């Protein structure tokens, strides 16, 4: 599996049978500036969304219409994208549900966060619950993208049920766990073989680097793969 960080919480996964974008916030993402958008979305077959905030939904509608990719999202967000974004290929699900596609499944698990779209006139539209997503991929490591979340004790159940090998973990503080708490979540509740931090360095009001997280991982710091925007990790 090749994993490329596109900045913030956006990732591109290349597997044997699919090319998957998770939370493709590209336009307006300061971390993505200077990267090749056409290359980032080339050959995309699926888009997986953790929740409805604009810095996660991002360019989903445009990419889906351009590439014909199927969008996988919680029911409320999926219906919103169909009605307001013109997205036709939708696979709605919700917390606890699993959907299958060619060579992989996606299971939606809990996250502690909010999920809404704020219109230009300031009206907030709830778009279902925030989630993490577990991808079981044929012949590849199992991946958990936590979405935006705080620590919670039922992370232990996610480990028990899914045994993810790779964890993509928000660490930037203010809107998610900070580095020390994210490290506690990883060390107490999971048995990851690789941990990829995200949701940092994008905006001035969140942590700018992964130093606090790496330090708090202590003896497990060797598991951390701090990505570079546009850089690929082979896992």
* Domains by residue range for the chain, with CATH: 2-229 (3.60.15.10)
What mean pLDDT do residues 114-134 have?
Answer: 95
pLDDT of residue 102: 93
What mean pLDDT do residues 114-140 have?
Answer: 95
What mean pLDDT do residues 31-59 have?
Answer: 97
Confidence band for 35, pLDDT divided at 50, 70 and 90: very high
What mean pLDDT do residues 5-15 have?
Answer: 98
d(CA 129, CA 116): 9
pLDDT of residue 120: 87
Q: Where are the alpha helices (DSSP H) in the chain?
A: 37-41, 54-57, 60-67, 75-84, 155-162, 179-189, 211-217
What mean pLDDT do residues 125-134 have?
Answer: 97
The per-residue pLDDT for range 211-233, each reduced to its tens digit, is 999 999 999 999 999 999 999 99
d(CA 72, CA 74): 7
Q: Are 26 and 58 in contact (CB under 8 A)?
A: yes
Predicted confidence (pLDDT) at residue 158 exceeds the cutoff of 90: yes
d(CA 123, CA 224): 39
What mean pLDDT, rounded, does the chain reach?
A: 97
């Amino acid at each position: 599996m090749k994993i490329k960080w596109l900045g913030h919480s956006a990732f591109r996964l290349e597997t044997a049978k699919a090319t998957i974008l998770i939370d493709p916030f590209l336009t307006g993402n300061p971390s993505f500036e200077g990267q090749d958008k056409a290359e980032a979305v080339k050959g995309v077959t699926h888009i997986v969304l953790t929740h409805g905030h604009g810095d996660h939904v991002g360019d989903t509608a445009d990419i889906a219409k351009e590439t014909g990719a199927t969008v996988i999202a919680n029911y409320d967000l999926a219906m919103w994208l169909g009605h307001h974004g013109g997205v036709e290929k939708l696979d709605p699900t919700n917390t606890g549900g699993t959907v299958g596609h060619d060579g992989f499944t996606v299971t939606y698990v809990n996250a502690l966060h909010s999920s809404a779209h704020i219109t230009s006139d300031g009206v907030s539209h709830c778009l279902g619950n925030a989630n993490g997503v577990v991808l079981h991929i044929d012949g590849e490591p199992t991946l958990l993208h936590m979405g935006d979340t705080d620590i919670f004790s039922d992370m232990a159940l996610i480990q028990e049920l899914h045994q993810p090998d790779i964890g993509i973990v928000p660490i930037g503080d203010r809107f998610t766990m900070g580095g020390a708490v994210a490290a506690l979540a990883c060390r107490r509740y999971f048995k990851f073989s690789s941990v990829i931090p995200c949701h940092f360095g994008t905006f001035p009001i969140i942590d700018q680097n992964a130093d606090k997280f790496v330090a708090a991982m202590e003896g497990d710091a060797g598991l951390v793969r701090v990505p570079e925007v546009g850089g690929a990790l082979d896992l």
